[in-house]
Structure 1
Amino acid sequence: MDSSAVNGCPRTADLDGDGIAASSRRTFLNRAGVLGVGAAAAGVLGGAPAYAAVGGSGRSRVGDDDDPYGQTTMSPTARGKWDPDPDNPRFTVVVMPDTQYMFDQDRIHPVPMEASFRYVLDPAGRAGGNDENIVFLAHLGDVTQNGLAEEYAAATKVFDMLDRAGASYGVLAGNHDVRDDDQRGATPYLDTFGPARARRTPGYHSSSPDGYNTAHVFKAGGRKWMLLSLDWRLSAKGFAWANAVIAANPTLPVIVTTHEIVGSDEDGAAELSSYGQQLWDGLIKDNDQIFLTLNGHYWPPGSTVLKNSAGNDVHLHITNYQDRYYGGAGMIRSYRFDLDRGMIDVATFSPWIRELAADGELNALAARELELTSKVDYFSMAIDFEKRFAGFAPVPPRRSRPARRMLLPGTLAYWRFDEGGGTAGGAVAADTVVKDRTGHGNDLVLKTVPGTPAHALTWTGDHHPDQPAHAGLVFAGQGNPVSGAYLQTVDRAPINRETFARGYTFEVFFKVPADWDGGRNGWSSMLSRAGTAAQAGKNGPSATADEPVLTVSLSSSIELQWNAYPLNQNGATTAWSHLLQQEEWWHVAVANDGRISKLYVNGCEEGRNPTSTAIGLTTLNMPFLLGGYQWAGAVSQVFHGTIGDVRITDRALKPGQFMNA
């Protein structure tokens, strides 16, 4: 529609009971100020003069003729080219608001919409050549200005572009398309965008009996999502249908699209309209699956976040640009979901103006509209999708895996803390022996720094979500001065003398707490090997005489450091990670194939030594320390945090073989 008329937002023409303004677009153009929100009520759905298409045949491309602004641009679209990746955690839903000025009696001009559809359908034609993995296009209503059959005859030809490509899209009726509520009966809109057309689109789920409301289900990010295209005015039957279709699909996240829910002030602060309040009360607030709503109708664009009955956030957005240059210039908004980052990145731009720029046809006014970058048009939303959807689609926790499944060929030692331990929160007893699950005899025994208070090492059920054993040990170590308890391999453990000449993989799960302090806890180690570089006769330029011959440590800034002395080098080889966050579980792996060492964090490669061959690891036949770190042969730091499963193999494993895989 139209400019805002809700809760303090700017108002324009008065609406009658049908939501149709008495003034017309001609009045708006003549007055150059206030938009008329429809044709006169008597002429909205019939009796208007026939339109004349602009630009002759309607088959010329922009730039081929004298006036690109006066040419239709439709070009053949390849059939069946719609092929988004349903498992990619990054995908895009495109929103197209009010396009009514493109289909307005004798002022038919579909060029901007065609350009937007080309953008949606053609990855190679997008800015930068990026494939945004577009999975759905949602039109927000007011397809036409007057709801005339002649206007839909032009609009349907443009939407044929999507149909030929097999695209997944939804259309809904706005107040310029129809009158009254969804029980209105037959209309030119329904003839054009009714169930017969919708059911041919991928992801079509169902339509309400009246045909004006449609449910779509699409797969993206490895899961199914529902999008509802709802009429501009739901009847009681419409509300009942919408609630029922959500209830019948109780695990699907739901996006609601309709023509009117919220309006916004000039600063982008949105509030529910009176009808939006009805939608909130009758559909949105009690359906926790609804996390995002999108509407047009009013301007300027804006958003708000409301709490539903479950106490969860619902994001409500208004997007409409018909008040801007060229009736909105076919402006679209992309909602780029990134499930890995927990973000939705929103951008607003005109593919048509991009095409004009590429063809050298850009005028000064169009140049301002190529891409909108204000805070209400270009922004990001942080959503913890797993947490937000937990109330209706919880991700089941990964079950623990038995030790025998972790004993891959070449496993030398495997330590876990879920059997034979004490009660969660209880202290590890002085006589505790943590068995090596390989059976090779690389058992761990408790060591305590003199003067350490009780409960310096305790059992816990806390664990990495992908950890095989659902247990760990909490180390309360400190440095400066040093205190704490740690574990150490027994004196005759076979692994103490292992040189790993053919390669190795070290894996550790760990977490640092909120009270971790770089001054007290920095340069502590989750896993290290006793014996100094000096004792091993290492004196190269990268050697530090008093440091241990091997350590998987954390710097004072919580960076992972792999520092080890290979057999074939007189100095150390080192790899580093990015800065890690507190209160978050991490998995670290260092893999060496007998030549190259690589550092992995959560299965992702972070560091390597590609120019210096690293063969094996130096040993002085001394123990491995779990949670302890020696300097100059004496324990100088004890780890502060939680350590889970630890595994050592005598070959380089691939990430798919790691314990977190």
Structure 2
Amino acid sequence: MSTAEHRHRLDRRALLQAAVAIPAAGAVVTAAGSGPAHADSKAVSGGRSRFDAESPRFALAVLPDTQYLFDADSSDPAPLRATFRYLVAEREEANVAFMTHLGDVTEHGTEEEISLAADTFKGIHGKVPYSVLAGNHDIRSSTDDQRGDSAYLAAFGPERYASMPTFRGASPDGYNSYHVLRAAGREWLVLALDWRVSDKGMRWAQGVLDAHPTLPAVLTTHDIAWSDDEGAAQLSDNGKRLWDGLIRGNDQIFLALGGHYWPPGRTVLTNDSDNDVHVHITNYQDRYYGGAGMIRLYGFDLVRGVIDVETFSPWFLARDPEQRSPLEAETIELTGPTDRFSLAIDFDQRFKGFAPVPVPKPRPASAVMPRGTVAYWRFDASGTSAAGSAGAPVADGALVRDLTGNGNDLTVSRLHTSGPDALTWSADHHPGQPAHASLRFDGGKGPDRGAILTTAAGAPVNSTKFTLGYTIETHIMLPEPFEGDHSWMGILSWEGRNGDAGKTTGWSPLEPTCSLNLSPERFLQFVVYPYAQDADPTSWSHAVPVGRWMHIALVNDGRRTVMYVDGSKIARNPAQPSTGITTLGKPFVIGATQFDEKFGQGFYGWIGDTRIVSRALSTRDFLTPFE
């Protein structure tokens, strides 16, 4: 997010100023897996802003060393107060799930410094859940988590978090804690470990992981890695101990965050399960005004498969741009490669070793034939008795049944002199597709090749006009790499020249009356000649991806047609009237499009379940439903 965007947010929404008193302390929780249950997924935080735990996008706020803001008689908590006001005010819009402090809250760990810091944290308490761990400046640095009482423990021990819905427990010594938060429709584990974890602390942390074996985990500690001036991080001595004793053997830990050192840096290590672990250093105390309450937002996006990271100072952002000093303006937002970056993570793939995504079971045809279903074809044993093993050729003459019983069966044939590999059986399929099978088409140009599936003469779908509307759905995947010239290849169509039906508006009277095709730029094109109008309204998608299954739906409500890709309405849907389809009693085809009643090339890729319904369906009623 740009600085201007941050400023716009702050300008249009007044930052919340009121502090909330810390609730009465509850009992210290020490047992892994015990503690209060997580809050409702739509719970309002502090009565002011709402966090959406089911949205696939959320943010983890990371607050590094604030020690120079709490340094004896030169303390100035104003920057941190501004950071907390920002997180509270923006919790709903940024969907902030949690904030974690990486230690060195104060410079000397005195009662006065700790007391001021604890009072400052009232600005976020009860509004955004958080964790705080001890850095070497908060306690006696020569000790580990068995050190006993300290001013830090009295202020930032387990009692402080007991009322938080995310807090689940602390180690018996009180210096290590963990939280379970619900975000993006699943639970995540945050481990907040002391500056120096003892053997007892390591066993406790392992117990927490063992008690939550399916939760992806973020490990936070003060000292884990240091970086060179180019931002290349490597484990510190303490980091090596954590890596060998805890991180590398627990595949759940995918992100490990530390402060302590500067400059910031990052690296990617490979754990014992051969998976990536991202290790980051976040520390800005060497920057102007002791870092000025600088925070990082780790923006998780489970749809795009990325974590977008940005680093900025809300204190400087909140100021009038005309009143900022040169150093304030310079430090508002950091955009270097270790401060602003994106991590590409296939979350399902990364987490499958400990939390595999359940594979949906195939759904019977009877479950996916709503009222008005005209035809439904699938390529597993329920759809054709000829279904063969994956990779085996589909024989010419093989029959794919119309499972509605309406008589729209499809028959396989090859184009021109195409060989057996032009059409093969496949077990690949769209994850949400009812049948766990598809057909692999190897069509192309020069020489013309491919295979098609066509209805017989007299099949009802050949002449159906769909004047009350229709929904045509299919699933496709384009190969990766997408090799060769496949421009204007057809996916499905009705045979017959539109000119023979008296249509005059189209690009050519020789093109078919209805077809779904792929342009040279990989744009989907759906062109239809309506029954009730002399027109050819055409929908165009964006450039569709390769190597990924897509669900495509063409929905007509009797007035106009809308294309959906993966449940999302595309932009280029024509507004002109479109009622019905001008069918000429000629076959419906899967795998190609005719021109002048001739096939020039066949489809290249996979095609799965295909269905035609004689009315407009909502996205939730698609073959692969989208809520």
TM-score above 0.5: yes
Partner of 2:510: 546
**Paired AA for residue 416 in structure 1:** R
Match of 1:533 among 475, 484, 498: 498
* Mapped partners of 2:474, 2:46: distance in 1: 51
Shift of 1:82: 5.5
Partner of 2:221: 258
Is residue 446 from structure 1 mapped to residue 412 from structure 2 by the alignment?
yes
Is residue 467 from structure 1 mapped to residue 433 from structure 2 by the alignment?
yes
Contact 2:494 2:515 survives alignment (8 Å): yes
Partner of 1:40: none
Deviations 1:298-341 (A, max 9, x none): 10111111001111110010011111111111111111111101
Is residue 404 from structure 1 mapped to residue 369 from structure 2 by the alignment?
no
Higher alpha-carbon deviation: 140-149 or 560-569: 560-569
Partner of 2:379: 417
Contact 2:394 2:420 survives alignment (8 Å): no
Partner of 1:123: 90
* Mapped partners of 1:75, 1:589: distance in 2: 50
Is residue 455 from structure 1 mapped to residue 421 from structure 2 by the alignment?
yes
Shift of 1:479: 2.4
Contact 1:460 1:471 survives alignment (8 Å): yes
Match of 1:558 among 504, 522, 526: 522
Contact 2:226 2:261 survives alignment (8 Å): yes
Please, what is the CA RMSD of the aligned residues?
1.6
Is residue 135 from structure 1 mapped to residue 102 from structure 2 by the alignment?
no
Deviations 1:576-622 (A, max 9, x none): 11112222111110000000100000111114545311011101110
Is residue 81 from structure 1 mapped to residue 52 from structure 2 by the alignment?
no
Aligned counterparts, 1:179-190, within 5 A? 179=140, 180-190=143-153
Shift of 1:190: 0.3
Partner of 2:607: 643
Instruction: Report the TM-score when normalising by structure 1.
Output: 0.86
* Mapped partners of 1:104, 1:597: distance in 2: 66
Shift of 1:571: 3.2
Q: Name the SS for the 2:508 alignment partner.
A: coil
Shift of 1:518: 5.1
Contact 1:74 1:114 survives alignment (8 Å): no
* Mapped partners of 2:49, 2:497: distance in 1: 62
Is residue 353 from structure 1 mapped to residue 316 from structure 2 by the alignment?
yes
Contact 2:476 2:551 survives alignment (8 Å): yes
**Paired AA for residue 502 in structure 1:** L
Partner of 2:4: none
Partner of 1:379: 341
Shift of 1:406: 1.0
Is residue 171 from structure 1 mapped to residue 137 from structure 2 by the alignment?
no
- What is the number of residues matched between the two proteins? 580
After TM superposition, the runs of 4+ consecutive aligned structure 1 residues lying more than 6 A away are: none
Q: Name the SS for the 2:465 alignment partner.
A: coil
* Mapped partners of 2:571, 2:319: distance in 1: 45
Shift of 1:431: 3.1
Aligned counterparts, 1:234-633, within 5 A? 234-357=197-320, 360-419=322-381, 420=385, 421-514=387-480, 516-517=482-483, 519=485, 521-540=486-505, 542-607=506-571, 609-633=573-597
**Paired AA for residue 538 in structure 1:** K
Deviations 1:455-506 (A, max 9, x none): 3222111111111001111112222332222110011101111011110010
Aligned counterparts, 1:147-226, within 5 A? 147-163=109-125, 165-179=126-140, 180-226=143-189
Deviations 1:523-567 (A, max 9, x none): 111111100122222112x34122111111111222211011012
**Paired AA for residue 345 in structure 2:** I
**Paired AA for residue 324 in structure 2:** L
Partner of 1:5: none
Deviations 1:162-207 (A, max 9, x none): 22x3421000000000121000000000000111112122200110
Task: Say if 1:275 and 1:309 are closer, same or farther in 2 by CA, change over 3 A.
Answer: same
Task: Say if 1:222 and 1:391 are closer, same or farther in 2 by CA, change over 3 A.
Answer: same
Is residue 93 from structure 1 mapped to residue 57 from structure 2 by the alignment?
no
**Paired AA for residue 493 in structure 1:** A
**Paired AA for residue 139 in structure 1:** H
Task: Say if 1:516 and 1:100 are closer, same or farther in 2 by CA, change over 3 A.
Answer: closer
**Paired AA for residue 203 in structure 2:** A
Contact 2:423 2:441 survives alignment (8 Å): yes
Higher alpha-carbon deviation: 420-429 or 135-144: 420-429
* Mapped partners of 2:424, 2:492: distance in 1: 18
Gaps of 5+ in 2: 1-15, 21-44
* Mapped partners of 1:166, 1:660: distance in 2: 38
Shift of 1:76: 3.5
* Mapped partners of 2:238, 2:229: distance in 1: 21
Q: Percent identity?
A: 48
**Paired AA for residue 552 in structure 2:** V
* Mapped partners of 1:172, 1:83: distance in 2: 26
* Mapped partners of 1:623, 1:610: distance in 2: 26
* Mapped partners of 2:111, 2:481: distance in 1: 68
Contact 1:518 1:558 survives alignment (8 Å): no
Shift of 1:447: 2.2
Contact 1:518 1:555 survives alignment (8 Å): no
Gaps of 5+ in 1: 1-72, 125-129
Is residue 655 from structure 1 mapped to residue 619 from structure 2 by the alignment?
yes
**Paired AA for residue 619 in structure 2:** P
Shift of 1:244: 1.0
**Paired AA for residue 603 in structure 2:** F
Instruction: Report the TM-score when normalising by structure 2.
Output: 0.90
Shift of 1:155: 1.1
Contact 1:458 1:475 survives alignment (8 Å): yes
Shift of 1:392: 0.4
Shift of 1:87: 0.6
* Mapped partners of 2:407, 2:545: distance in 1: 35
Q: Name the SS for the 1:106 alignment partner.
A: helix
* Mapped partners of 1:331, 1:628: distance in 2: 57
Q: Name the SS for the 1:499 alignment partner.
A: coil
